[in-house]
Amino acid sequence: MNSKRVLIVGVVKEVELQLSGLIGRKQSRNEVSYLTTLKLPPKRKILKEVVQLLPSFRDVMLTNLPKKLPPKREVDHRIELMSNTELPTRAPY
């Protein structure tokens, strides 16, 4: 080997990452080589108007989403279709 071994350790919490790796094909005997890249998603800008509007809806928005669907209820709502119409069961494209 013609370079020093460098160990990088870090802790990052609650960050979405895209990680890809490649194991080298041409290498010396008994030597393992790895190449890894890390791509962070681009930051999205939130409009100032949206930031100002969100607090007024704090009572309607959940902080944490539920893990499962709510239980079945007694009343099952249906969407009534017009008579003599075809069901929209075609591919969207």
Domain ranges of the chain: 8-41
Q: Could you give the count of Cα atoms lying within 13 Å of 70 in the half-sphere of its Cβ?
A: 5
Average pLDDT over residues 54-66: 84
The mean pLDDT value of the chain amounts to 74
Quote the pLDDT of residue 7: 67
Identify the band that residue 77 occupies on the pLDDT scale cut at 50, 70 and 90: confident
Distance CA 64, CA 59 (A): 13
| Tokens standing for residue 51 | 């930031």
Give the distance, in angstroms, between the CA of residue 88 and the centroid of all CA atoms in the same chain: 30
Residue type, 21: G
Identify the band that residue 17 occupies on the pLDDT scale cut at 50, 70 and 90: low
Residue closest to 18 by CA, chosen among 47, 45, 1, 38? 38
| Tokens standing for residue 30 | 């008994």
54: Cβ contacts below 8 Å, ≥ 6 apart:
61
Quote the pLDDT of residue 49: 92
Give the distance, in angstroms, between the CA of residue 84 and the centroid of all CA atoms in the same chain: 42
pTM for this prediction: 0.27
**Res. 93: pLDDT tops 70:** no
pLDDT digits (tens, 9 = 90+) for 22-41: 555 555 666 666 667 777 77
